[in-house]
Structure 1
Amino acid sequence: MKWLSKFKENPKKTLLIFLGAMLIINLLQGLFTDLIFDEAYYWYFAQNLDWGYFDHPPMMALFIKISGLIFGGELGVRFFAPFLFAGSIYLTWLLIDSPKRDENILLFCAIAVALPLFNVYGFFMLPDTPLIFFGALFLYAYKRFLSSNAWVWVLLLGFSMAALMYSKYHAILLILGILISHPKLLLKFRFWVAILFSLLLFLPHLMWLYETEFYTLEYHIIERAKTNFKAGRVFEYIGGQLGARGFIFFFVFLALFKFKSRDRFQKGCKYVVFTALIFFLFSSFKRNTQPQWTIEVIVPLMVISFYYLIENVRFQKWFFRLALVNLAVILFARIALVKEGLLPINYEAHGNKTWVADLYEQSGGLPVVFENSYRDASMYAFYAGVDTYSANNIFYRKSQYDLDSTEMKMQGKKVVYVHKGSRPYDMKTFSAYKQRTLKGKIIDEFHSYRKLRCVIPLEVLSPNTADRIPLEIFNPYNEAIDLREEIIFHGFYLFENNKIAAGFTFIPEEMKNGESIIIGPNETLRLHFSLKTPSELKRIEMANELKKKEEDRRPASEIDEKYEKIKFFRVALSEYGIPPGFQGRRIAIDEQ
């Protein structure tokens, strides 16, 4: 077709038109699409800029903060996403060295526009959005570094590595993949200069980790729940990787396995992809692995796919056909994101303004404490403009709300305490949007002590010596706390995956005489308590089973097996009827 040939005649103009069109489309999409929960959570990060956050490094928070200084609303969160997306595509174009590159400009554009998951980051501002851009910049700097020792490329390489790590910790896989493909880099002086420069730039985050006692790494590496191997999770991971490429997955992965590298850069691209895919394959043995966790390899994957398709012209016709199918699905999904009701499922961007408005009206605009929902807390804060806090407990997971000082803002205030469960103190339904029912109660004077620290100063805990277990409690608050009046002590036995096996409440020995125990501001108090051993709890559980009807009883062997799997113990504290939090660190159980 003649109109297609005009695009091929001027590839630079075609690329600029394509990038400009994508930029405008993504800006409009970002403007008219309501926030998703993760974006609201990262917006909450940006309200207090720091060198790090509980879940991620700070790069996306920085972009959101600057966006918010320019615009309000959703675009005040997403403004930079379309520009980072366009920049990623342009840098990908620069990564390709082939005499056939310009004449295949339409093929390149088709690859870029037909990858479903890649296009999501054209308007959503998530950690992966800057990760993709800085990944492309890193590969560009590496490509130039291979052909020139000029200091500009050394410094750009170092900067891009630091920017990658400031975007997401997974970025280390990109750097590692390049090193595996070219280990002799470690013998180059200027490469070490690049590494030292990147470490210098990354030093503020490393200091932040140290100052927070590696709180976030401890959770994500040690405490985060892991489970036994399940083949189903592995197949879900593989299926997710195929689905993330849509109908063109066959050609993308065919290129990955069939394309033969001709230089160090092409080899590096392949190694980067395989490093990340294999790493997350093994990760899927122990935990659920989400498809977007490998999005960092999208740029090298695009490069490899382009090279393969221009060398195997026979595949291009079917590639374009399937790319059009992908594009049609993507366009429909984009419209459905804006127009609620086009899909049979209720997407997370839909309905949030409705339940937020309901809760705001029913609560009279009071500050809101959400139980176990950093997602709802941040979404409500964004759309309602009201102070919120997520009171996370041991039955859920930690979040940024456990790390920062947001809890302090709520102390002593009249608040609405909201949860999704069903408890005796459910007094009111504050919102009932579709399947989202928010219930709770008004607390005239809210207090919580999630930041109390409980440490058992032992190497391991032996249930055989269950009496007078030492417990040190540190009070970081600026007020004294009456432990007897305000705190209930809990002990929990945990499985290897940190899920709760059994629990009990206890009273420290020093408090059994009925006297108040006051712990002053920034003081550490040493108490002692007695364990209910796993064998005791097992006897209680078996006795309770015997009270049930015979057909409802669990087999004794099942209960035995449960208590044999116990690996850890931790202390937790509850206050004013709020379920216990994460005040105590886990300690290993002596298995001897």
Structure 2
Amino acid sequence: MSPPSPPATPSPSVKACLTLLAVSAGLRLALAVGTDVYFDTAYYWQWARHLAWGYYDHPPMAAWLIAVLGIHATALVCGAGTVAAVWGLARDVYGSREAAWRAAALWSVVPAGMVAGVWATPDSPLLLFWTLGLWALWKERWGWAGLACGLALLSKYPAVLLGLAFLLAAARARRLPWGAWGTGALALLCFVPVVLWNARHEWVGFLFQLHHGFEGRGGWNTFGQFLAGQLALGGPVLFPLALVYAVRGPREQFLLRMAAVVPLLFFGYASVRAQGEANWPAAAYVAACVGVAGLRPAWQRAVAASSLVLVLAVGTHVLFPLVRTERRDTVLWRTHGWSVLRELATPQKLFPGLDAHNIAAIYASEYQLASQVAYYAGGITDTAFPARFSQYDLWPDPTLAPGQEVLWVTEGGPGPPETLTDRFTSMSDAVLLGGDFRGQRLHTFVVWWLRGLKPEASKGSP
């Protein structure tokens, strides 16, 4: 009887990938616990307190997951799940575990994936279910593909671009399997409740996304911003390689090539029409990482090194900022300084003579600020002019009784609007709350106390 063979040791390439995955996981955890609630995430946390089939800005998946898992676990679980799904997709594409480890390691340090894996946003579940859907489509597991694509549609509207990528691949192959019809039917069935919610709310979700994505001041300037955003969130090497892979990638990987290029082309075109957000085509880099995992090792090392340097530099700046500028530091502004809003939970410390039990609501000039106040201070919050239309405008207005009082909070904006002050008998002087991080002033919140709601103003909204 021959002795058992010793267990295979990982190759140097796999060891490097495991190291990269470990560094990425450590950085994600450090960012999650070392920052305040992300400025948009608080808004989605508010959604989770009012569960529905849709919201003004996006479908409901992010809110559902936050309600079940909480803010941090939603991002971390979705982020880890996406890395695992990329590993499985690449293994089946190449028939190689080593290639799977390369693709997973590359994805783990893509800046767009890092952001979605640290702070809970609709991108967090979208990237997970997009990858699962792409994997199932590749394997022609039509039922699983329909479910994953349906869950992706429940996460964010651009998930429909995965269906477009599949149809382009089917057209090129001149083959549309019967099972694919079931995939589309199941995905649409999952999405029907979102359509019905929009129908009951004058199609606000669909109309907002169309307006936000295609109507505005666009042109070469906004297209240039789009390109700069992709170099930052996609990666300075991965973004151009994604385009090269889409054009010159292996013939048999046409589905993956379309999954990489369709989001980039779609949102590139949208950027010419209006100013967009750099994260919108984030799903494109899933297939791009799988494609790069099959390229020459030099390109893989270039992608890994450039992405790692970028996420480590930004991550270190977020946790230990060394560079300061006179202009607002957007990265730090989004991630720190919000927790000072806890002081609004005890407003009597800010305004002597105030009875905290008589504060019926806190109004804010922005929906993100209203949500941060709700998260850190609790209580009922709402928005008023000049806040843009948001989900707050679809929820019922706070109920106020004669004699009750409210607070108005803004950051760098004007005092309470007349539509609000006219409802009260008097108003205090402003009080400042400074949101600092490591000795740097990031936020200056201004708070007013509006006293004595007039009896005739107890109904209606500001």
Structure 1 position 338 matched with structure 2 position 319: yes
Where does residue 3 of structure 2 map in the other structure?
Answer: none
Change (3 A) 1:214 1:108: closer
Is the 2:242–2:285 Cα contact (8 Å) retained in structure 1?
no
Structure 1 position 351 matched with structure 2 position 337: yes
Change (3 A) 1:36 1:294: same
Structure 1 position 431 matched with structure 2 position 432: yes
User: Could you tell me which of 44, 47, 50 is aligned with 1:45?
Assistant: 47
Q: What are the within-5 Å matches in structure 2 for residues 191-202 of structure 1?
A: 191-202=180-191
Where does residue 111 of structure 2 map in the other structure?
Answer: 116
Where does residue 503 of structure 1 map in the other structure?
Answer: none
Change (3 A) 1:371 1:225: farther
User: Runs of 4+ in structure 1 displaced over 6 angstroms?
Assistant: 13-18, 423-426, 446-449
Where does residue 408 of structure 1 map in the other structure?
Answer: 398
Is the 1:421–1:439 Cα contact (8 Å) retained in structure 2?
no
The structure, 1 or 2, with the larger RCO (C-alpha pairs under 8 Å, 6+ apart) is: 2
Change (3 A) 1:247 1:21: closer
Structure 1: gaps (5+ residues): 68-75, 146-152, 450-478, 482-574, 579-592
Between the aligned partners of 2:95 and 2:206, the Cα distance in structure 1 is 46
**TM-score, normalised with respect to structure 1:** 0.64
Where does residue 399 of structure 1 map in the other structure?
Answer: 390
Q: What are the within-5 Å matches in structure 2 for residues 524-539 of structure 1?
A: none
Structure 2: gaps (5+ residues): 1-7, 422-426, 435-440
Where does residue 54 of structure 1 map in the other structure?
Answer: 56
Which amino acid in structure 1 is aligned with residue 162 of structure 2? L
Structure 1 position 88 matched with structure 2 position 76: no
Between the aligned partners of 1:187 and 1:321, the Cα distance in structure 2 is 37
The 3-state SS of whatever aligns with 1:238 is helix
Q: What CA deviation, in whole Å up to 9, does each residue of 1:401-454 have, x standing for no partner? A: 01122x1345654211334215797742232424524143414228999xxxxx
Where does residue 380 of structure 2 map in the other structure?
Answer: 387
Where does residue 190 of structure 1 map in the other structure?
Answer: 179
Between the aligned partners of 2:280 and 2:301, the Cα distance in structure 1 is 27
Structure number with higher helix proportion: 2
Change (3 A) 1:38 1:410: farther
Where does residue 10 of structure 2 map in the other structure?
Answer: 7
Between the aligned partners of 1:446 and 1:401, the Cα distance in structure 2 is 23
The 3-state SS of whatever aligns with 2:50 is coil
Q: CA deviation at 1:186?
A: 8.2
Between the aligned partners of 1:240 and 1:37, the Cα distance in structure 2 is 19
Q: What CA deviation, in whole Å up to 9, does each residue of 1:221-242 have, x standing for no partner? A: 3588933443211111122112
Change (3 A) 1:448 1:196: farther
Percent of residue pairs identical: 23
Is the 2:40–2:368 Cα contact (8 Å) retained in structure 1?
yes
Q: What CA deviation, in whole Å up to 9, does each residue of 1:474-517 have, x standing for no partner? A: xxxxx987xxxxxxxxxxxxxxxxxxxxxxxxxxxxxxxxxxxx
Between the aligned partners of 1:224 and 1:328, the Cα distance in structure 2 is 31
Between the aligned partners of 2:393 and 2:341, the Cα distance in structure 1 is 25
Is the 2:153–2:187 Cα contact (8 Å) retained in structure 1?
no
The 3-state SS of whatever aligns with 2:448 is strand
Where does residue 205 of structure 1 map in the other structure?
Answer: 194
**TM-score, normalised with respect to structure 2:** 0.80
The 3-state SS of whatever aligns with 2:409 is strand
Where does residue 590 of structure 1 map in the other structure?
Answer: none
Q: Figure out how many residues of one structure are paired with residues of the other and give that number.
A: 423
Where does residue 281 of structure 2 map in the other structure?
Answer: 294
The 3-state SS of whatever aligns with 1:300 is helix
User: Could you tell me which of 351, 365, 372 is aligned with 1:372?
Assistant: 365
Q: CA deviation at 1:208?
A: 1.5
Q: CA deviation at 1:191?
A: 1.7
Between the aligned partners of 2:455 and 2:362, the Cα distance in structure 1 is 11
User: Could you tell me which of 62, 65, 77 is aligned with 1:63?
Assistant: 65
Is the 1:116–1:330 Cα contact (8 Å) retained in structure 2?
yes
Q: State which structure, 1 or 2, has the greater radius of gyration over its C-alpha atoms.
A: 1
Where does residue 241 of structure 2 map in the other structure?
Answer: 252
Q: CA deviation at 1:356?
A: 4.2
Is the 2:213–2:274 Cα contact (8 Å) retained in structure 1?
no
Q: CA deviation at 1:369?
A: 3.4
Is the 2:214–2:270 Cα contact (8 Å) retained in structure 1?
no
Which amino acid in structure 2 is aligned with residue 331 of structure 1? L
Change (3 A) 1:410 1:218: farther
Structure 1 position 29 matched with structure 2 position 15: no
Greater displacement, 440-449 / 272-281: 440-449
